Every structure is written in C-alpha cells, then in structure tokens.
Amino acid sequence: PDLGGKPLTRARLKRVAYAIAGLLSLLFATGFSGQWDGLLRYLYAVPYGKADPIFGADLGFYMLELPFLQAMQSAVVGLAFLGLLALMTGYVIAGEIGVQDGQFQVKAAALRHLGVNVILLLLGWTWGFYLDRYEMLQEGGSGAVYGAGYTDINVMLPALWVMIVATLVLAGLVAYNLYRKDLRLLGVGVVGYVALLVGGLVLAPTLVTQITVLPSELQVER
C-alpha cells in the first residue's frame, strides 16, 4: 500500500496512527471540557436524606452523581467503538486483515488486539445496562405514571439484569476465543445475545404493556 505516492511502511503507518489518535483525543477532550461542573457535583455530592422506593438510593445520587456516571459510560463505549474502527482500518491498510486465495484471513496478533477492544466495548455496555436501571425512575412515560411503571419494574428491570449477565458471558466468550478458537461457540453466543436483547428489552415489554397494562392501566399501575 502507499500513502500520497510513498510506500506505506510500518514507521509511516505508526505516524498516521499517532496523528489519528491525537485528533480523536482532542475531540473527546473538547467534548469533556463541559463536564467540569458534573465532575464537581459528583465529587462533592451529599445525601438529600430521602431514598427512592425502588432501589433505596438517595435522591442526591440521581441529581448529582448519576449524570456524570452516564457521561463516563458513554465516553467508554464511544472510545472503545471508535478505537475498534480505527484498529480495523489500520490492520486492513497494513495487510494484517484481508482476503488471500479467496479466503478471509486475520493474523493472530491483530485478532487478539481487536478482541481486547471488543471486550472493552462489551464491558462498557454492561455498565450502561446497570445504569439504565436507575434511569427508569426518571423517564417520563406516555402512560398514566411518570417514571418506573408496572412494565418497567416487572419486565424491564429483570431483563436488564439478564442483559448484564449475558453481556459479561459474551465478553467471556470473546476472551476465550483469543486463546482457544471456537467460532461455533462464539457464534451461538452472539445469536443468543441478540435474541435476549430483542426479546427482553423490546418484545416482552411491548407484549406486557399491550396485554396486561393498557386494558386496566390505572388499576395495574396502582
């Protein structure tokens, strides 16, 4: 490969990678420059003295700590995702990933590096599912109540716990495949994960809302 008419050597590729990494760092730093207020609220948070009725968390956690934690979680997921895209692009350019003799091939070192970033991305998702539990209490629904309703507590909350465990299991399968390749097991894990995601967070809440809640919404929510 070449870059600007010059051969793309490993040294030049490293310089390009450093430049891209520096640019991404500046972009994220610019985005986080407005988080100082959130950081100070998080560091100096004090309890309000009143807890929510679902998790028993002090209201100060929701007002002062949760917003900053959500911003950090979004940053972790964003960095892991962008890093994964950048790595894939770099390895394709360097010839570590490509098609040879009609077969898709990935060198072992590149595969392990990409796998580590996938694991980081999955751990960020796990953290996101955990924080989504608290977010339920602040979401304004279109139904009869504000915050966590019947479907949220009885369907969404258990589904989020299932997704937390499932995401950790999937991360474990990816880690296992870094050392002992078992693509069939990993494929089954990915398919099962998608099924749980769609079934638990989309289909089940919709069905319970339509069948159980809406026919007698006020009574059910009470």
Tens-digit pLDDT profile for residues 67-80:
999 999 998 998 89
Q: Which of 35-44, 117-126, 188-197 has the lowest mean pLDDT?
A: 35-44
- pLDDT of amino acid 100: 67
CA atoms of 215 and 222, how far apart (whole Å): 14
Residue 103: the pLDDT is: 65
Judged against a pLDDT cut of 90, whether residue 95 lies above it is answered with no
66/136 Cα distance (integer angstroms): 12
**Residue spans of beta strands (DSSP E) within the chain:** 2-3, 6-7, 97-100, 103-106
Contacts of 222 (CB under 8 A, 6+ apart): none
Quote the pLDDT of residue 102.
Answer: 63
More confident residue, 120 or 35: 120
The pLDDT value given to residue 96:
74
Pull the structure tokens for residue 145: 């109540």
- 98 Cβ neighbours under 8 A, 6+ residues apart: 92, 104, 105
Contact 132, 160 (CB under 8 A): yes
Place of tokens 């600007």: 4
Confidence at residue 128, expressed as pLDDT on a 0 to 100 scale: 97
* pLDDT (0 to 100) of residue 141: 57
Taking 80 as the threshold, does the pLDDT of residue 31 lie above it? no
**Res 59 pLDDT > 70:** yes
Rounded average pLDDT over 53-65: 93
Tell me the C-alpha distance between 188 and 204, whole Å. Answer: 22
Mean pLDDT, the chain, whole residue set: 86
